[in-house]
Structure 1
């Protein structure tokens, strides 16, 4: 075979027909070979990991978790009446998150610490620690020592007296207990419900149960106190506001009455101004007076025409006055006149006009006619007086109406301002009544506060430890050991400085691989193939010990 293009002294790698193909594929056989060679390293690391996991389980104190559940009832029906479903959902989520923040607050934790005196409880303040935690604490102490931080002393404690120092230490201990309690507490929402799960983990199951119960009770009391405080503040604010509204309402009512008195805007029971009522009455009287004037004027003109016609026709026109009070006198005179006229006619018929009796009767008849005419003149004069009186009354009423109309116009202009003042007074009165009713409701609710939280699952003593979880720790330790062993095995493979396969010789040294040689005292060496001999006689061999 011809090897002229492949000089062996320059260590140029020999071309391989499978080299380009191998770059595109994972050599599974090689990986399995590497795994087989490093199996002991991986197994040892896995065993070490399991051993460390067992040590961790044996040196870590058991943790017990106590759980309580509370229900948040915000009365969402009222909210859904006014807002959409999406807004109600966002409101519910915000409410639950707000309640969780209240549970995690330092104020609630401080109440639990004070109630259970946790800052004086040795099991709470100094719980058992695992070896890992002790080691970490020791390292932190060393680092703090070299950094020069005095973590066990409060700032400025050296410059105060004993009482103040004691108070500072007590406050710092209480704050530390609050911080520890907040760290160990867990408050989570149960699925999408309005239920919040409160849990606390401790090495003492009785302590975990007591803290969880105290937290649930403190949260319930906090909700009741919040409702009471809000109602109390509302009642105090409403009381002060009621005083202002009462004074404002009274001042507005007095302003209305004062304005009405100053402008003479008195009103009757129907709310009508007296000036308007007076104007209406005067208009009614004017209508009556105009009718009287027209009636008296007609009678006066009628009798005046009778009188102007003379006494000759007085007897014929005197029938018009038959319905008047003086009609009896005229009727008597007319009766006498008719009797005299009849006798005169008889005498003249029997004895002639020149008869003395006829002359006497004619004179008497003329005298009676004159009396009738005189009565008609008196009636005419009476009607003239009545006409003048009615006319004067009408004129007086017109003057009064003109004056009353001017006053009514002024009163109507003032009535606009009066209505404005009256509306303000009524609005203040209505507002005062509204605030008064709300104040009564707030006063009733203050003595009967109702919380929106109730405990649906009380904390119970945990029967088994919640941590550390044995299977999880062992599984994690095994996985970490396997990963560490795989890392060490890969490191050993890549750091090797000898050949294991014929491909390594061809790829790295650029030599032709002849075959394998057995180890001394081992089995027979494999026969080398004739095709593997180089042209210049330079060969490379690999003993079985190097495989």
Structure 2
């Protein structure tokens, strides 16, 4: 009997395509045989995967997550429905997504960084890292060392700056980095289809995670209050401008102030008109009585421009009259001096009468001016009263807006005043936003999850073992069964022979003898 060994120098060829229809089905027995032969490889890879998982758990610092829940009031649904004809669900989703964008905005992150001074917190800026992260960082450092980049914009030399400018630039860079880091690490997600947003932060220090989450929620609440207060104040001012409801520094409407001023001016004008009328009527009566009675009835106040002239004339008149009386008593009325004095007296009386007529005409003009001014003021007061009536009706809406703005401003100031109080950390109701679940101190680490990590490590190890086992099977160099001989070599299989010497090979199992083809 001839004996020949048929080792395979390359991968075994696929089965002949002309084989029977039964050979197109998967051979379960053959697969089980392959699994049994590669069980050690799979087991070793699974152990390696578990070992790597344990190593990852040991070298990865635990992280703690603190979560707060923020409720967006359902009144938001009504607001967006009033201003848009689109579907309510679409508008509500957009509004809540907008609130999530506000929560993760740079401005809000900057407020939290400034409040907690996170740029000066080493635990936040340089948290402990896992061995994997350290390895990645080392590789990045080597890449940056090989390909150095400028540390300042524009390629400026950092070393040439003076110490004060360098320290300021470092502080600004740390703050910007802290804001960017916080903005990327904060998590804000909508819970299902509800109006609740879950706000959370994860850190290696549970106290730091709790403080950041609380401060973030409070900052968001304060920001919404401030925005609502400003929006209400702007609505008041816009309403005032649209309806012409200008107000002074005391909050009084300009129309009311104007009406009040006009009424005061009208009262003064009425008094002036009455005084001018009385004075005019008085002097008109004197003038109407004739020049003979002008001297006796002429009573001129000293504040009038003509008072000095008339007073001088009256003084001359009295002097001439006294001299005339003396001359007539001594020499008689026919005396030439008495006739001259009588004529002079008559001339002075005529001058006094002329001055009184001019003064009466002046008083008449003053009376007419005062009367015209009073009439104009009455017309202005009537117009102002009509506008004030309209403004008072419109002011009802303005008063509502003003009260709302005042309430929101007071609420915002109250919130800021109680911000540091522990009792205020509970749910604080506001117009549209309120905290329904305050951030609490995490008691257990949220990552890495031991069960999940070990489970994934085991699955990855098994998959790796299956891959290596498959490679071993496809790279097999010997025949294992008689079917292999018939399929691959197209020779008749006669049977199995034990290994010469009766001792199993190093890598063989009972029932798995290296096959020698017999011809």
TMscore range, shorter length: 0.5 to 0.7
Q: Is the 8 A contact 1:69 1:456 kept in 2?
A: yes
Q: Match for residue 407 of structure 2?
A: 448
- For residues 123-162 of structure 1, what are the alpha-carbon distances to aligned partners after superposition, in whole Å with 9 as ceiling and x for unaligned? 1111110101101111111122223335699953525443
Query: Equivalents in 2 of 1:83, 1:447: separation in Å?
Result: 25
Give the unaligned 5+ runs of structure 1.
1-12, 251-424, 525-541
Query: 2: distance between equivalents of 1:472 and 1:427?
Result: 78
Aligned to 1:274: none
* Residue of structure 2 aligned with 1:490, choices 458, 464, 470: 470
- Within a 5 Å distance, the mapping from 1:318-329 to structure 2 comes to none
**How far is 1:238 from its partner?**
4.3
Structure number with the bigger relative contact order (C-alpha 8 A, sep ≥ 6) is 2
3-state SS of 1:544 partner: coil
Whole-angstrom distance in 2 between the partners of 1:121 and 1:459: 20
User: Contact 2:189/2:197 (CA < 8 Å) preserved in 1?
Assistant: yes
Per the TM alignment, residue 85 of structure 1 is displaced from its structure 2 partner at its CA by: 11
Q: Which has the larger radius of gyration?
A: 1
Residue among 436, 449, 458 paired with 2:438:
458
Q: Structure 1's 41 and 443: CA in aligned 2 closer, same or farther, altered over 3 A?
A: same
Name the counterpart of 2:334. none
Alignment of 1:346-385 (within 5 A): none
Pick closer, same or farther for the CA change 1:29–1:497 going to 2, 3 Å. same
Match of 2:133 in 1: 133
CA distance in 1, matches of 2:512, 2:96: 74
Q: Which moved more, 1:496-505 or 1:482-491?
A: 496-505
Q: Deviations over 1:417-448 (max 9, x none)?
A: xxxxxxxx999989866765554444333332
1:215-265 deviation line (CA, Å, top 9, x unaligned): 11011101001111222333444455555989xx99xxxxxxxxxxxxxxx
SS in 2 for 1:514: coil
Q: In the alignment, does 2:2 pair up with 1:33?
A: no
Q: Distance in 2 between matches of 1:50 and 1:69?
A: 37
Aligned to 1:88: 88
Say which of 437, 449, 453 aligns to 1:473: 453
Return closer, same or farther for 1:240/1:209 CA change in 2, 3 Å cut-off. same
Q: Name the SS for the 2:439 alignment partner.
A: coil
Take 2:452 and 2:388, find their aligned partners in 1: how far apart are those partners? 73
Against the structure 1 CA distance between its residues 453 and 32, is the aligned structure 2 distance closer, same or farther, given a 3 Å change threshold? same
- 2:301: which partner in 1? none
Report the Cα distance in structure 2 between the residues aligned to 1:64 and 1:442, rounded to whole angstroms.
Answer: 45
Distance 1:118 1:494, change over 3 A: same
Once residues 170 and 241 of structure 2 are traced to their aligned partners in structure 1, the CA distance between those partners, rounded to angstroms, is 44
Whether contact under 8 Å (2:71, 2:436) holds in the other structure is yes
Greater shift, 104-113 or 442-451, is seen at 442-451
Query: Is contact 1:245-1:432 (8 Å) kept?
Result: no
Match of 2:499 in 1: 519
Match of 2:227 in 1: 226
Counterparts of 2:243 and 2:16 in 1: how far apart (Å)?
102
What SS does the corresponding residue of 1:487 show, helix, strand or coil? helix
Cα distance in 2 for residues equivalent to 1:464 and 1:245 = 60
Could you tell which deviates more after superposition, 75-84 or 229-238? Answer: 75-84
RMSD: 3.6
The 2-side partners of 1:496 and 1:545 are apart by 12
User: Which residue is equivalent to 1:63?
Assistant: 63
Stretches of structure 2 that go unaligned for 5 or more consecutive residues are 1-12, 248-253, 256-383, 409-429, 505-510
Q: Distance in 2 between matches of 1:123 and 1:39?
A: 47
Question: Which residue is equivalent to 2:167?
Answer: 166
Give the distance between the partners of 2:81 and 2:460, measured in 1 at CA: 57
CA distance in 1, matches of 2:72, 2:208: 26
Q: 1 CA distance for matches of 2:239 and 2:16?
A: 97
Shift of residue 511, structure 1, vs aligned partner:
2.6
User: Counterparts of 1:116 and 1:215 in 2: how far apart (Å)?
Assistant: 10
Preserved CA contact (<8 Å) 2:245 2:391? no
1:196 Cα deviation (Å)?
1.3
Relative distance call for 1:55 and 1:544 in structure 2 (3 A) is same
**Any idea what the Cα deviations from partners look like across 1:388-443, whole Å, max 9, x if unmatched?**
xxxxxxxxxxxxxxxxxxxxxxxxxxxxxxxxxxxxx9999898667655544443
Deviation at 1:207, TM superposition (A): 0.5
Q: Is the 8 A contact 1:519 1:545 kept in 2?
A: yes
Trace 1:382-461 onto structure 2 (pairs within 5 A).
Answer: 436-449=395-408, 451-461=431-441
The offset of 1:463, in angstroms, is 1.2
TM-superposed CA distance for 1:180, in Å, is: 1.6
Assess if the C-alpha contact under 8 Å between 1:144 and 1:150 holds in 2: no
TM-score, structure 2 length as denominator? 0.59
Q: Partners in 2 of 1:170 and 1:17 — Cα distance? A: 74
CA distance in 2, matches of 1:92, 1:429: 42
Conservation of the 8 A alpha-carbon contact between 2:80 and 2:92: no
More divergent stretch after superposition (140-149 vs 118-127) = 140-149
